[in-house]
Structure 1
Amino acid sequence: MAGRSPQRDLTIGPVGKTLFLFALPSLGVNILQSVNHSVNSVWIGQFLGETALAASANAGMIIFLMFSALFGFSMATTILIGQNVGRGQIESVRRIMGTATGLFLAAGIAVALLGWLFAPALLRLMATPEAAYPLALAYLRVMFLSMPTSFVMILISSSLRGAGDSVTPFRNTLVNVGLDIVLNPVFILGLGPIPALGIAGSALATVIAGLISLSLLIRQVYAKDLVIRLRGEELGWLRPDAAWVKPITKMGLPMGLSMIIMSGSAVVMIGLVNREGVDTTAAFGVMNQLWSYVQMPAVAVGGAVSAMVAQNIGANKWDRVGRIAWAGAGINVLMTAVLIAAITIFATPILRLFIPAGSAAIPIAIHINLVIGWSFLLMGISVVVTFAVRANGAVIAPLLILIFATIIVRFSIGFGFYDRYGADAIWWAFNLAAISSFLLSIGYYFHGGWRKLKPLA
């Protein structure tokens, strides 16, 4: 490989330092994507009004579900590539990359076509308000056109992390987000020779930013001769190979389903929150926005743990696997604790950025955070441990744990005790779900036999 390659050998060096430095760019990606979403919402809201903002929110929920399902397959590819990089089997890495690229590109094209056709039905299914429906349809249809490039870009980024490179995906996200933010007002308002396209222009800006950043990302892969690149006869591996489709699907389906279950469970609980009235709904909505930042370290560190554990399993360095998992848990606890403490200590001034001073929603939000906030420490440990065991192909047990915690426990407590304890039953439902997930995840890590699973490929 070229000397300037940003790929990192995750099977050597001090575990804690290597993991921390590897996870930081992934955390940066999560922050950039959240900032991008927020800024684009500001453009739409300021230039086109509340109806357009509601339209983009409705369309955005559908797009989010698409990417939630895709998450599992991208993580499966990350794990397979990580294990084969650890074994030093570069040809297998490229065969996996070829199969995955063929699958993701085909899936992206299929979703784009089906999404364009069924966008009206999807929006009707969500009961999109009539005033927002035409705008939501225009926005959603253009967004569906971005699916092929978005799917491939997500695949390349996750595959690079599996190969030990988290810097290139971060730099690409920086370019993508920068372009999207700059192009949004250009296409919304019609600056220069560009016609004013309204909300469709916001979606088109996202499509164009994705095309440009994907082109630059592919150029980087080949310019730096990164391990996932395909040349010459290797391009024939873009035709999906059943030998690799099977493990990608076997792991990808349960992990994708996990994301859908988490999202669906949250939607159901929001329906319960809505019973408490607009102030509680607003308070919970704002806290969810703030908690999205609290959860970022767990996602970034968990992804880094998964790639690092996969490489070390591939290299048969099992003595490092446990150290990686617990280093990840420790790093996440520290980062999450700082964020929770900041939100708790400065709750009032932070909430006033979202809610008018004197609103009844502010004390409600503070109470919600005091009850639920600490549970993100346990949730973060569960996430990191789950990512570690998945790196050896253990995906069914984490899925069952998730179903038990987020559906059986959360719904039983929330709905079962709501009539007696009101809103506090909802908040404690989240806590008890986090506690049960933590205990079961730790139990499975120590006693689940995931280390004895057969090699994935």
Structure 2
Amino acid sequence: MSDAGPGTGPLKGNLTQGPLTRTLLVFALPQLVGNVLQSLNGSINAVWVGQLLGDEALAATANSNILMFLLFALVFGFGMAATVRIGQSWGANDVISARRVLGSALGLTGMISLVMATLGIVFADKVLDLLATPGAAHDQALAYLRVVFIANPIATITTMIAMGLRGSGDAATPLRFMILATLLDVVLNPILILGLGPAPALGIAGSAWATVIATTIGFGAMLVWIYAKDLPLRLRGAELAWLKPRWEESRYLLSRGLPMGAQMLVISGAGVIMIGLVNREGLVTAAAYGALLQIWNYIGMPAMAIGGAVSAMIAQHIGAGREDRVDAISLAGSLTNLAMTGLLIAALVPFDRPVLELLLGAGSPSVDAAVHIQDLAIWTYLPFGVTIVLFGPLRAFGANYAALLVLFVSMYVVRLSAYYLLYPLLGADALWYSFVISSITSLGLTLLVYFRLPWRKSLQARVAGLERQSHP
């Protein structure tokens, strides 16, 4: 393919063309499917480990996954920053600039992931001690974690390429190879755990090696596809030198990526605190909440996919000088998310008891507790989902610290204050009402940020400039 540059016609994958809602849906659906696949992969692998190796092994993988999530938060932040930057280049029809961004992002995160993997392998034992991993699960967690760290650099680079492709409007290519890696991981888990056929019996390390092998094959296959199809973001010849991070791009990725990664850490930290508060209410409530988290994970997926799609779309519109459509994209994303999340909730609520009985057992007293919690709290995903979608334009315009502050205030200050104030009156129900209050607060604060902060003045100035150009 020819290398496009500024001033040429729209590139393939351009998200500035066509009806907004349709374009948004077509772009977001592959990412939504990918999110579902990742969660299903984790759930199925947990079943393999739990059924074949027992509770200690399952606890070991849970402790290990806490650490891996921290690394994912960092990659997510840099990946979203790269998505926005590549989207802006794509909207301006500047393939060369997009390749430079992707090269710098791969070089920067590749070096970071190699350092983190090395440190992880060396100090995994100490980190598990800091987490107070139970003695029975410690050794298994160590064996699992040291192998998983081997896959971390490849997984990081794969994620960065996938997010870069999404910035260029290509959500289908990452999905293809996520499906491949997921299927391989699921199939290889029992083979390597038990040693079926010629494979050695590796126990819990077999589950980790399944992830390493599946990730590596998926990465290799995606690279072959990218170069065989000559996709626009591939690097060739002298362009490979762009893998050495340039300060200009690295500074952008660090300044934008770190607060985005911090947003993920704030959300996960609030979740850890919530689990601690729930555990105080006893085993029945803890089991009920644990089962609900499995369900709610899927309820929140439309917002994550649509929020990412909104970021990429608006970034491309900024690059194309089409800031006049930003509010329309934000509205389309919010309404689409409300519709999709609302449909999921409406489909679940009438059948929540049989679904919960599948997870908890038909005779479990936790089922009634879970139904009660769900009746009170599931609706929080409607306002919080809109919050996540509206973070999309804030990311595209660089208002990341404002979004981080919104999350911190709503999920820590407001949620915990509501919990402690209401607990003497409502008991355990204070937990679920604090969910509702914090979600409504997050939406209110996000709307305030969206319509009032300085980024808004920048948007209005750009739109006014476009209007003057159209009507001199």
- The aligned counterpart of 1:183 is 188
Shift of 1:420: 3.5
Once the two structures are overlaid, the 10-residue window that deviates more, 251-260 or 412-421, is 412-421
Give the match's secondary structure for 1:417.
Answer: helix
The AA in structure 2 aligned to 1:270 is I
- The superposition leaves residues 37-96 of structure 1 with CA deviations (integer Å, 9 ceiling, x where unpaired) of 011111111111111111111111111121122211110000000011111122111111
Q: Is the 8 A contact 2:110 2:157 kept in 1?
A: yes
Shift of 1:451: 4.1
- The superposition leaves residues 252-290 of structure 1 with CA deviations (integer Å, 9 ceiling, x where unpaired) of 011101110110111012111111100000111111110
> RMSD of the TM alignment (CA)?
1.4
- The aligned counterpart of 2:154 is 149
Shift of 1:7: 4.7
Matched, 1:13 2:18: yes
Q: Is the 8 A contact 2:88 2:317 kept in 1?
A: yes
Shift of 1:126: 1.4
Separation (CA, whole Å) in 1 of partners of 2:186 and 2:294: 20
Separation (CA, whole Å) in 2 of partners of 1:28 and 1:152: 20
Separation (CA, whole Å) in 1 of partners of 2:299 and 2:239: 42
- The aligned counterpart of 1:95 is 100
- The aligned counterpart of 1:423 is 428
Separation (CA, whole Å) in 2 of partners of 1:199 and 1:415: 41
- The aligned counterpart of 2:467 is none
Give the match's secondary structure for 1:373.
Answer: helix
Separation (CA, whole Å) in 1 of partners of 2:190 and 2:302: 31
Shift of 1:453: 4.8
The AA in structure 2 aligned to 1:293 is Y
Matches within 5 A, 1:231-270: 231-270=236-275
Matched, 1:325 2:330: yes
Matched, 1:209 2:196: no
Shift of 1:342: 2.1
Q: Is the 8 A contact 2:260 2:400 kept in 1?
A: yes
Separation (CA, whole Å) in 1 of partners of 2:450 and 2:337: 17
Q: Is the 8 A contact 1:72 1:252 kept in 2?
A: yes
Shift of 1:425: 1.1
Q: 1:357 aligns with which of 362, 365, 388?
A: 362
Separation (CA, whole Å) in 2 of partners of 1:370 and 1:417: 18
The AA in structure 1 aligned to 2:306 is V
Shift of 1:319: 2.1
Matched, 1:312 2:354: no
Q: Is the 8 A contact 2:288 2:367 kept in 1?
A: yes
Shift of 1:215: 0.6
Matches within 5 A, 1:375-394: 375-394=380-399
Once the two structures are overlaid, the 10-residue window that deviates more, 377-386 or 315-324, is 315-324
Shift of 1:449: 3.0
Q: Is the 8 A contact 2:75 2:160 kept in 1?
A: no
Count of residue correspondences: 452
Matched, 1:225 2:238: no
Shift of 1:244: 0.4
Matched, 1:58 2:67: no
Shift of 1:452: 4.4
- The aligned counterpart of 2:82 is 77
The AA in structure 2 aligned to 1:87 is A
Once the two structures are overlaid, the 10-residue window that deviates more, 340-349 or 17-26, is 340-349
Once the two structures are overlaid, the 10-residue window that deviates more, 415-424 or 61-70, is 415-424
The AA in structure 1 aligned to 2:190 is P
Unaligned runs of 5+ in 2: 3-10, 463-472
Q: 2:171 aligns with which of 166, 173, 177?
A: 166
- The aligned counterpart of 1:113 is 118
Separation (CA, whole Å) in 2 of partners of 1:342 and 1:149: 38
Give the match's secondary structure for 1:228.
Answer: coil
Unaligned runs of 5+ in 1: none
Separation (CA, whole Å) in 2 of partners of 1:39 and 1:383: 27
Q: Is the 8 A contact 1:392 1:451 kept in 2?
A: no
Separation (CA, whole Å) in 2 of partners of 1:424 and 1:409: 16
Matched, 1:287 2:292: yes
The AA in structure 1 aligned to 2:293 is N
Give the match's secondary structure for 2:135.
Answer: coil
Q: Once superposed, which parts of structure 1, at least 4 consecutive aligned residues long, lie more than 2 Å away?
A: 415-421, 451-455
Shift of 1:360: 1.8
- The superposition leaves residues 285-336 of structure 1 with CA deviations (integer Å, 9 ceiling, x where unpaired) of 1111100000000001111111011001110111221111111111111110
Q: Is the 8 A contact 1:393 1:453 kept in 2?
A: no
Matched, 1:49 2:54: yes
Give the match's secondary structure for 1:273.
Answer: helix
- The superposition leaves residues 356-396 of structure 1 with CA deviations (integer Å, 9 ceiling, x where unpaired) of 22322111111111111111000110100111221111111
